[in-house]
Structure 1
Amino acid sequence: MADPSEETPPVTRQISRQSLWQNTGDEPVELRSASSRLVVDAAGKRIPFGALYEQQKTIVVFVRHFLCYACKEYVEDLGKIPKEFLQDANVRLVVVGQSSHHHIKPFCNLTGYPYEMFVDPEREIYRILGMKRGEASSTSVQSPHVKSSLLSGSIKSMWRAMASPAFDFQGDPAQQGGTLILGPGDEIHFMHLDKNRLAHAPINAVLQLAGVQTVDFTNRSHIIDV
């Protein structure tokens, strides 16, 4: 891995702290409501969303549908975060999608993502936390994690849809995602809502905010020991 002092500083212009929640005491009512909603793991087990960050600081990344090429490439880079970086900082990493839980394992296999993944099939948590439907202009947005063009990425997504056992988008194509750093308990450290498919929070900026060592994503051959 390259010397961190020689790495290009992470892109941070897409990051903003957003005062979108109504505060009642220390915990926004939206997060309190979302915490009791259930997410589903790959085995179909349901747990409260709040259990993901109750005991530990947790980076929670909500993605669009699992056939979204931009989400696939973003999650591929999330999968390159070395496990020891998270362990040293005592930070948990979780991805939440909005499809059936049956799509979790194939998506993890496709992306090489080795960490926890859940789904919110009814998009209740997405709605409660204010994540957008529809797509704002992406002309000025350049994600450091998306390598495919709109045309090539869209073709890849369509091919994956056609090749899947059931022709579906594995979630609502209009639903946008977001990134939060939560916990332990009701601590809220950061919130970013995606405006479009390319408006993900840059991963190294999120890692810095969570107190996790950053990653050299230019080293595409880096192997993670999991």
Structure 2
Amino acid sequence: MAQVVSPITRQVTRENRGILSRSVDVRLEDVDDCLVYDRRGVSFPFRSLYQDRKSVIIFVRNFLCYSCKEYVDDLSKIPREALEAADIRLIVIGQSTHHHIEPFCSLTGYCYEMYVDPERCIYQKLGMRREEKYTESANPSPHVKSGIFIGQMKTIWRAITSPAFDFQGDLHQQGGAIIVGPGSQVHFSHFDSNRLDHMPINWLMQLAGVQQTLDFSDKPKIIHV
């Protein structure tokens, strides 16, 4: 579990939030009726995920992607009590078949809600990118620890050793993050430009109303006594 750090050392402020978030317009009415599937293959309308509570919804590229795997590794470290105190749901959505949910949760240690959109209905209707774009001003995800070469090797190895040899989603599809609900309220949205363009988890949690700041680094912690 991620260590809770106090006080907050990097706050998302009104001045820098627009720069950091690159927020885009989201029309929930376009995707309300799109179906998502749980790990048993049971379908639900997308709107059921945010109708009654505020939800932080993360869309990942594919379950074999090393950067998505490492990002969800860190999502799994968020303490449940931090989410409960803010009264929010944390949800990850992939674009493979539902059979890959259970193995991906086991691999990452992720214990919160996860669904799939195998037809990429939500990805497409919300306008998420289907190619990668890199810019000099882009900030790489602080949650991806592997370099591109090593990361690609990890992806290939997982594909080869997977019981079901498939790519677990469209390799060109990019992901994103939205904070929505209850109802049709859209509080924030960010669509990734490339595999490293994740919204930093602390910033995302702060925008959703989580009061704690979490330390996801692997560096040794110094305790002052």
TM-score after normalising by structure 2: 0.89
2:43 paired residue number: 46
Residue range with higher mean Cα deviation, 207-216 or 171-180: 207-216
Identity of aligned residues (%): 52
1:24 paired residue number: none
Q: Which residue type is aligned with residue 172 of structure 1?
A: D
Q: Once superposed, which parts of structure 1, at least 4 consecutive aligned residues long, lie more than 3 Å away?
A: 6-14, 138-141, 219-222
The CA deviation string for residues 204-225 of structure 1, in whole angstroms up to 9 with x for no partner, is: 1110000012211126799xxx
1:76 and 2:78 are equivalent in the alignment? no
TM-score after normalising by structure 1: 0.88
1:142 offset after TM fit, Å? 1.7
Q: Which residue type is aligned with residue 190 of structure 1?
A: F
2:97 paired residue number: 100
Q: Which residue type is aligned with residue 107 of structure 2?
A: L
Matches within 5 A, 1:68-217: 68-137=65-134, 140-212=138-210, 213-217=212-216
In structure 2, C-alpha distance between the alignment counterparts of 1:209 and 1:164, rounded to whole Å: 36
Is the CA contact 1:7–1:216 (under 8 Å) kept in the aligned structure 2?
Answer: no
For the structure 1 residues 105 and 192, does the alpha-carbon distance in structure 2 shift closer, same or farther, using more than 3 Å as the test? same
1:64 offset after TM fit, Å? 0.3
1:15 paired residue number: 21
Give unpaired runs (5+ residues) of structure 2. Answer: none
Is the CA contact 2:140–2:198 (under 8 Å) kept in the aligned structure 1?
Answer: no
The CA deviation string for residues 112-153 of structure 1, in whole angstroms up to 9 with x for no partner, is: 011000000000110001101011026643211000000000
Is the CA contact 1:59–1:181 (under 8 Å) kept in the aligned structure 2?
Answer: yes
RMSD across aligned positions (CA) = 2.0
Give unpaired runs (5+ residues) of structure 1. Answer: 22-27
Q: Give the total of aligned pairs.
A: 213
The CA deviation string for residues 181-225 of structure 1, in whole angstroms up to 9 with x for no partner, is: 000000100000000000011111110000012211126799xxx
Q: Which residue type is aligned with residue 218 of structure 1?
A: S
In structure 1, C-alpha distance between the alignment counterparts of 2:206 and 2:21, rounded to whole Å: 12
For the structure 1 residues 38 and 74, does the alpha-carbon distance in structure 2 shift closer, same or farther, using more than 3 Å as the test? same
In structure 2, C-alpha distance between the alignment counterparts of 1:183 and 1:145, rounded to whole Å: 26
